[in-house]
């Protein structure tokens, strides 16, 4: 240490000692630690590394430090644990990297159910989410991670990555984490660390890749090559032989009643599950004796499990419901063996004599079911998500809407019954939000993951529309990283007219938004359909490769601007501006949408269409 560092060392040591006095005094008065004082202490101790100085011990504090540390030594409260780690470092660990000691011990000592509080501490130690993820990788998920006890590995994976998704939305940090974690994933396969590979597969690898990438198709293609195919090979070459798993040899008999299993990741009010509900509603209305429909719920608790109220709505349809997670583990612990869940879920499905298995997602359980031949017929139901999902054992692919061109899909007709929504209970909230804007304001907006908005092509189009019509605002409804969008909005001088709402209840905001400006190149999902079903008027840019592009162009182009489909960005802008200016046209198109929905509801035969699709 040079002479220039001595004043810094003295100042920092004095500051840390004052921080400790504040913590100790507060504890003496309230019999608990003051969170803000603890955070300040941790922050100041971390500065020792920054300025490359050590702490100057003051013997006057040793006894008080020991007393307070010993009183809190067995506490499970995150701030108590963080305080004890920090004091222990000051007393004994001058030659140890404070951040390394802090991260390692905080991961090992803090209970998983309380760990989310630790992210508030992480925030003061790291300048960015990317820096935090860098510390995770450097101190926890390094070369030594794979030699840890398996339960500790699962616990750390859950704490770091599942919980970070609940706290942060940062696309750059997520892409960084994906590129680093895929090496850990590859090593886990090489060293046959199955639980590590399985826990990494979907969260975080799948979400950090596709959920934060501006080009979903590129992301899915990359994921297939780098993650899915290696994992598929691992299950085939290692898991199946090791556990002596043999394919289900059952044959489907046309004369017998067929059991159809819908395997859902969890039952929540998400667009995918709501679509499933609308299908079940249609299927269960039919009086027939050829099919039995069963809903199997993986109910993964690491993301909060399933919605009990929504489950009851499924059961009211007369549908048999099976909670696979509860049946296997009989608890709601956030951490568990994914391999055990895969094997035992498969056993349950086989014991239940399932004829047709329909997977509605791409978690590792589905890959396991397909590869091990769990049912005589195995189906992947595509929900406009992973268009490159291709696992050995998928017999047919079905879809209820537009489909990609890289696989053959059997499409069935499904009319979503949004009329079940209890709008009366929402009217006050809808009115409150609408009344927060001036009467002459036209509310533009979209609903969905923010990554769909986060591209210059779409944003520039929206900016041009709003600059042409100053009586507009835009509601950004959905979760995700808003950093880049806000920068672009601010740069354009439109910050006062953009409102970032966050995750919303679509039933409310489809009534708040006057004109739904559908995102492109990646379209909105079920919220757009729900908006149209309620008579809403959107503007939709049809991609050139859309299968119905030519037909719609022939039927719609001569309508000038009395239509909702646009055929170019310039056309999109002109349509939007015309709808903003002309309330009469908006009302006319609204009635047309309602009538079209009514006519469709009279002609759609969901049951016949679905049965035909799954029997191809």
Peptide bond into 204 cis (omega under 30): yes
Alpha-carbon torsion, ordered 281, 282, 285, 287, to 10 deg: -140
Which pLDDT belongs to residue 319?
A: 93
Mean pLDDT of 14-36: 93
- Quickly list H helices, 73-114: 78-92, 98-109
| 129-143 per-position pLDDT tens digit | 999 999 999 999 998
Mean pLDDT of 218-236: 95
Q: Show the tokens assigned to 358.
A: 């329909």
Which pLDDT belongs to residue 505?
A: 86
Sign of CA dihedral 145, 148, 154, 160: negative
Contact 217, 349 (CB under 8 A): no
DSSP-derived letter for residue 493 is T
pLDDT bin (cut points 50, 70, 90) of residue 422 is: low
Check whether 151 has a pLDDT greater than 70. yes
What gap in Å lies between CA 592 and CA 228, rounded to an integer? Answer: 44
| 35-58 per-position pLDDT tens digit | 999 999 999 999 988 888 888 888
What gap in Å lies between CA 169 and CA 85, rounded to an integer? Answer: 29
Q: Angle at Cα 201 formed by Cα 196 and Cα 203, nearest 5°? A: 100
What gap in Å lies between CA 183 and CA 142, rounded to an integer? Answer: 10
Which pLDDT belongs to residue 495?
A: 96
Peptide bond into 521 cis (omega under 30): yes
What gap in Å lies between CA 418 and CA 609, rounded to an integer? Answer: 20
Residue 378's H or E segment, with its range, is strand 377-382
Mean pLDDT of 327-346: 95
Per DSSP, what are the bridge partners of residue 258?
A: 291
pLDDT bin (cut points 50, 70, 90) of residue 545 is: low
Which pLDDT belongs to residue 271?
A: 82
- The share of the chain scoring above pLDDT 90, in percent, equals 65
Which pLDDT belongs to residue 344?
A: 98
Check whether 238 has a pLDDT greater than 90. yes
Check whether 542 has a pLDDT greater than 90. no
3-state helix, strand, coil in the chain (%, to 5): 60, 10, 30
| 438-460 per-position pLDDT tens digit | 999 999 999 998 999 999 999 99
| 573-610 per-position pLDDT tens digit | 999 999 999 999 999 998 887 777 666 555 557 888 89
Across 97-106, 147-156, 552-561, least confident range: 552-561
Whats the size of the chain, residue-wise?
Answer: 616
Check whether 107 has a pLDDT greater than 70. yes
Q: Which residue has the higher pLDDT, 53 or 559?
A: 53
pLDDT bin (cut points 50, 70, 90) of residue 547 is: low
Domains and CATH numbers, the chain: 5-240 (no CATH), 258-411 (3.40.50.11380), 423-602 (3.40.50.2000)
Which pLDDT belongs to residue 1?
A: 53
pLDDT bin (cut points 50, 70, 90) of residue 16 is: very high
DSSP-derived letter for residue 524 is P
Residue 594's H or E segment, with its range, is helix 583-603
Which pLDDT belongs to residue 3?
A: 55
pLDDT bin (cut points 50, 70, 90) of residue 413 is: confident
Q: Which residue has the higher pLDDT, 215 or 37?
A: 37
What is the overall mean pLDDT for the chain? Answer: 90
b (16+ CB within 10 A) / e for 89-121:
bbeeeeeeebbebbbbbbbeebebeebbebbeb
Alpha-carbon torsion, ordered 488, 494, 500, 506, to 10 deg: -110
Distances in whole angstroms, Cα of residue 491 to Cα of each of 408, 457, 460: 44, 15, 12
Check whether 521 has a pLDDT greater than 60. yes
- The share of the chain scoring above pLDDT 70, in percent, equals 93
Check whether 148 has a pLDDT greater than 90. yes
Contact 367, 231 (CB under 8 A): yes
Mean pLDDT of 260-267: 96
Check whether 6 has a pLDDT greater than 80. no
**φ and ψ of 522, to 5 deg:** -95, 120
Mean pLDDT of 478-504: 94
pLDDT bin (cut points 50, 70, 90) of residue 522 is: confident
Of 65, 170, 79, nearest to 118 by C-alpha is 79
Of 196, 175, 177, 173, nearest to 185 by C-alpha is 196
Which pLDDT belongs to residue 201?
A: 95
Of 96, 298, 137, 98, nearest to 202 by C-alpha is 298
Which pLDDT belongs to residue 597?
A: 66
| 85-99 per-position pLDDT tens digit | 999 999 886 678 899
Of 54, 142, 141, nearest to 91 by C-alpha is 54
Sign of CA dihedral 507, 512, 515, 516: negative
What gap in Å lies between CA 107 and CA 156, rounded to an integer? Answer: 7
Residue 477's H or E segment, with its range, is strand 472-477
Which pLDDT belongs to residue 95?
A: 73
Q: Show the tokens assigned to 82.
A: 């963080």
**φ and ψ of 225, to 5 deg:** -70, -45
Q: Look at residue 549 and give its three-state secondary structure.
A: helix
b (16+ CB within 10 A) / e for 583-609:
eebbeebeeebeeebeeeeeeeebbeb
pLDDT bin (cut points 50, 70, 90) of residue 2 is: low
| 500-520 per-position pLDDT tens digit | 999 898 889 999 999 999 999
> How many CB atoms sit inside 10 A of residue 425's CB?
9
Contact 442, 469 (CB under 8 A): yes
């Amino acid at each position: 240490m040079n002479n220039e560092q001595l004043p810094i060392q003295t100042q920092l040591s004095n500051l840390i000692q004052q921080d400790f006095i504040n913590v100790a005094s507060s504890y003496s008065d309230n019999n608990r630690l003051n969170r803000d004082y603890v955070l300040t202490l941790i922050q100041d101790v971390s500065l020792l590394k920054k300025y490359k100085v050590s702490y100057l011990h003051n013997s006057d504090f040793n006894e008080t430090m020991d007393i307070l540390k010993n009183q809190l030594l067995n506490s499970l409260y995150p701030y108590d644990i963080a305080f004890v780690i920090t004091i222990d470092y000051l007393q004994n660990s001058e030659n140890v990297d404070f951040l390394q000691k802090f991260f390692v011990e905080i991961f090992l000592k803090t209970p998983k159910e309380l760990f989310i509080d630790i992210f508030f501490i992480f925030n003061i130690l790291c300048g960015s989410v990317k820096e935090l993820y860098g510390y995770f990788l450097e101190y926890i998920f390094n070369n030594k991670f794979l030699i840890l006890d398996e339960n500790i590995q699962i616990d750390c994976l859950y704490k770091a990555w599942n919980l970070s998704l609940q706290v942060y939305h940062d696309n750059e940090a997520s892409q960084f984490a994906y590129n680093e974690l895929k090496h850990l994933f590859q090593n886990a396969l090489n060293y046959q660390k199955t639980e590590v590979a399985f826990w990494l597969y979907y969260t975080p690898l799948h979400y950090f890749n596709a959920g934060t990438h501006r080009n979903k198709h590129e992301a899915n293609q990359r994921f297939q090559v780098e993650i899915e195919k290696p994992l598929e090979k691992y299950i085939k070459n290692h898991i199946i032989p090791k556990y002596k798993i043999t394919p289900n040899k059952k044959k489907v008999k046309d004369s017998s009643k067929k059991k159809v299993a819908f395997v859902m990741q969890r039952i929540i009010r998400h667009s995918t599950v709501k679509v499933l509900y609308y299908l079940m509603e249609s299927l269960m209305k039919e009086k027939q004796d050829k099919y039995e429909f069963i809903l199997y719920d993986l109910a993964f608790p690491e993301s909060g499990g399933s919605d009990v109220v929504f489950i009851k709505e499924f059961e009211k349809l007369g549908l048999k419901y099976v909670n696979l997670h509860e049946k296997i583990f009989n608890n709601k612990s956030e951490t568990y063996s994914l391999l055990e869940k895969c094997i035992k879920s498969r056993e349950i499905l086989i014991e239940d004599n399932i004829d047709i298995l329909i997977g509605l997602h791409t978690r590792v359980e589905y890959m396991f079911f397909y590869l091990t031949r769990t049912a005589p017929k195995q189906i992947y139901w595509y929900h406009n998500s992973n268009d490159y999902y291709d696992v050995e054992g998928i017999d047919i692919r079905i879809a209820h809407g537009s489909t990609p061109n890289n696989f053959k899909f059997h499409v069935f007709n499904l009319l979503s019954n949004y009329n079940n929504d209890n709008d009366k209970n929402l009217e006050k909230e809808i009115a409150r939000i609408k009344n927060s804007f001036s009467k002459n304001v036209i509310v533009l907006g979209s609903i969905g993951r923010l990554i769909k908005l986060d591209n210059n092509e779409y944003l520039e189009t929206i900016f041009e529309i709003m600059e042409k019509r100053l009586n507009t605002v835009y509601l950004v409804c959905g979760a995700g990283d808003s950093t880049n969008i806000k920068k672009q909005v601010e740069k354009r001088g439109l910050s006062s007219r953009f409102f970032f709402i966050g995750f919303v209840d679509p039933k409310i905001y489809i009534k708040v938004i006057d004109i739904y400006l559908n995102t492109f190149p990646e379209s909105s999902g079920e919220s757009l359909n729900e908006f149209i079903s309620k008579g809403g008027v959107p503007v939709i840019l049809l991609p050139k490769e859309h299968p119905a592009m030519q037909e719609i162009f022939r039927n719609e182009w001569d309508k000038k601007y009395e239509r909702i489909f646009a055929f170019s960005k310039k056309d999109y802008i002109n349509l939007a501006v015309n709808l903003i200016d002309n309330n009469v046209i908006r009302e006319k198109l609204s009635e047309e949408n309602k009538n079209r929905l009514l006519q469709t509801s009279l002609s759609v035969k969901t049951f016949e269409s679905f049965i035909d699709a799954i029997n191809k």
